[in-house]
Structure 1
Amino acid sequence: MEDVAASGALNEGIAKFYDESSGLWESIWGDHMHHGYYDPASAASIADHRAAQIRMIEETLRFAGVSDDPMKKPRKIVDVGCGIGGSSRFLAKKLGAQVQGISLSPVQVKRAQDLAEAEGLADKVSFQVADALQQPFADGQFDLVWSMESGEHMPDKAKFVSELKRVAAPGGTIIIVTWCHRDLSSSEVQLKPDEISLLNRICSAYYLPKWCSSADYLSILKSFSLLDIKMEDWSENVAPFWGAVIRSAFTWRGITSLLRTGWKSIKGALVMPLMVSGYNKGLIKFAIISCRKPE
């Protein structure tokens, strides 16, 4: 599979993509730049997409067993790949924690800080431009290490996990919510050619390196001796999301905004149906993984 990291320009491409597209996303979808979590049996759940994005955060905390008990809740959190800080601000308000967010995009970091100040959270949350593979934090600093849909951008998944573990406090919780490809069967050595082709087209538009499976992530986590490793496939719970994004992009407002935003955003919009196709074929999986750093 083509590895866009080989060009040496992956981080620059990611930064420019989000510099260009984040304002468009915020104007249509608000400040949470991630999937929503839906109850497939509930029409009300499927209709309210912004509520589903909040539910994604709440369900993620529940899955990982993050307590809001004053004696047990995390006091210091890092939001790895923070976007415009939606998760950071939510976690700071819900848990009363100090939150630091990092992103490769200067535009996202500036917007995240402005929103934090507007919401009276400047003393609780802060943001900086930084690479998730070389985080500017001391070892063992955070009770909760939060990565909501940033792992798919990491060209070296082992280095990514290594950094998440490094900055986690002893006993701290690590959460990775990410896109993966399907697990390979015992008789397979790689994905099928048509599957590789589909993922390569998505990679080109969204500045993604080579995809991995949730099984690959589990192997990496075990290799770092992380504890209480749990994983679930939430593909069914996020299934309505990309259809909703496509519908919002191809309204008159969405189209005019795309034209003003630039080619990178237009290119991203044009491959959104491939994400739907990938989910429908069982090729693309939406995985949540949590674990704990040894004491």
Structure 2
Amino acid sequence: MANFYDQSSPLWEEVWGEHMHMGHYGQKGDEKKSDVQAQIDMVDRLLDWGQVSAPTHVLDVGCGVGGSSRHIARRYGCKVTGITLSPLQCEHAKERSRLAGLADQTQFMVADALKLPFEDESFDLIWSMESGEHMPGKKEWLEECKRVLKPGGRFLMATWTHRDTEMLSCGHLSNENLDISKYYYLPEWVSCSDYKMIAQELSFTDIRTDDWTDAVRPFWPAVWRSALSWQGLIKTLRKGIETLRGARAVLLMIRGFNKGLIRLGLLTAVKQ
């Protein structure tokens, strides 16, 4: 997976910039705005939905090149630590923060989210924007996040899920889900209800969930349009077979969202 993002991240950065996640186009997906603004709005609306007030030290799990980390650091004047499996993303995140004058507020490292290299009770907010789908052990991941959260600290995530009516067994998942897993190196899919159940088992409190599928639905067609542009097509071809496979997965994401098979699930919870 790290190799995939080492290869594909530069193309995404060239075409889309620092935010490596979906955009928010209004709760019904009908707000007219630029795609870049929709990505920024996604960060702000998730923070608002999560009732984040004044964090002092935030952990960004699956930080990409640090777009959300820098936005959060600016918004709250806090310190943000970002982790990624991709050495290339980590270096780009550091350089972007340096150029943005945020090197003192942000730090980035290559680390495994299932084995966080931090002391207990290190953070008062854990932020995860579209990275939970990559975690092979959902309960182990949330358990590790809880360990490094301070008492009263908040966990907040947006992640790809399957619809609640589907079974967990891969044999019951749609072809779209299974093919996307192959292209994006994803483990087992779960529903938002499954995440809520795990949070309850781990004794989190103030657990809330939501579904923002409609709000992000326009994003993947926008990605496909950018890939079909002459400039985007040339860049995609230059990046090699792994990036071409990722481009194929964009069509599956569009179809999966349109059929309701793929959802964008939200969860926030507080450590006692």
Given the two structures, how large is their TM-score scaled by the length of structure 1? 0.89
CA contact (8 A) 2:29 2:214 kept: no
User: 2:250 is matched with which residue?
Assistant: 272
Query: What letter corresponds to residue 254 of structure 2 in structure 1?
Result: V
Paired with 1:158 and 1:24, the residues of 2 have a C-alpha distance of 33
Counterpart residue number, 2:100 = 119
Q: What SS is found at the alignment partner of 1:128?
A: strand
Residues in 2 aligned to 1:190 and 1:26: alpha-carbon distance in whole angstroms: 35
Match of 2:16 in 1: 29
CA distance in 1, matches of 2:168, 2:22: 30
Secondary structure in 2 aligned to 1:271?
helix
Tell me the alpha carbon deviations over residues 222-256 of structure 1, each in whole angstroms, 9 at most, x when there is no partner: 00000100100000000100000000011111111
Q: Find out whether 1:84 has 2:65 as its counterpart.
A: yes
Q: 2:215 is matched with which residue?
A: 237
Note if 1:65 corresponds to 2:51: yes
Paired position in structure 2 for 1:4:
none
Assess, with a 3 A threshold, how the Cα gap between structure 1 residues 118 and 246 changes in structure 2: closer, same or farther. Answer: same
Unpaired runs of 5+ residues, structure 2, are: none
Equivalent residue letter for 1:60: L
Match of 1:54 in 2: 40
Are 2:156 and 2:267, in contact at CA under 8 Å, matched by a contact in 1?
yes
SS at match of 1:136: coil
Matching of residues 1-295 of structure 1 within 5 Å: 14-39=1-26, 45-67=31-53, 73-184=54-165, 193=172, 195-294=173-272
2-structure distance, mates of 1:122, 1:129: 17
Residues 197 and 130 (structure 1), Cα distance of their counterparts in 2 relative to 1, 3 Å cut: same
| Counterpart contact for 1:184–1:191, Cα < 8 Å | no
Q: Which digits, 9 at most, give the CA deviation of each residue in 1:89-108, with x for residues without a partner?
A: 11111100011000000000
Contact 1:205 1:271 in 2 (8 A): yes
- Cα 1:190–1:136 change in 2 (3 A) is closer
TM-score (norm 2): 0.96
SS of the residue 2:174 aligns to:
helix
Is the Cα contact below 8 Å between 2:168 and 2:189 reproduced in 1? no
Q: CA deviation at 1:280?
A: 1.1
In terms of mean alpha carbon deviation, does 164-173 or 102-111 score higher?
164-173
> Percent identity, aligned pairs only?
45
Alpha-carbon shift at residue 46 of structure 1 (Å): 3.6
Instruction: Show CA shifts across 1:171-200 (max 9, x none).
Output: 001001100000027xx675775x432211
Residue identity matched to 1:198: E
Q: How far apart are the structure 2 equivalents of 1:192 and 1:203?
A: 13
Structure-2 separation of matches of 1:113 and 1:180: 30
Tell me how far apart the structure 2 counterparts of residues 21 and 259 of structure 1 sit (CA, whole Å).
Answer: 11
Amino acid at match of 1:269: A
Native 8 Å contact 1:77 1:142 kept in 2: yes
Which AA in structure 2 matches 1:161? L
CA-to-aligned-CA distance 1:136-175 (integer Å, 9 cap, x gap):
1111110110011000000100011011111111100100
Cα 1:42–1:292, aligned 2, differ >3 Å: closer, same or farther?
Answer: closer
Q: What is the identity, as a one-letter code, of the residue corresponding to 1:131?
A: D
Give the secondary-structure state (helix, strand or coil) at the position aligned to 1:217: helix
CA RMSD of aligned residues (A): 1.5
Gaps of 5+ in 1: 1-13, 68-72
Name the CA distance, whole Å, in 2 between partners of 1:152 and 1:238: 16
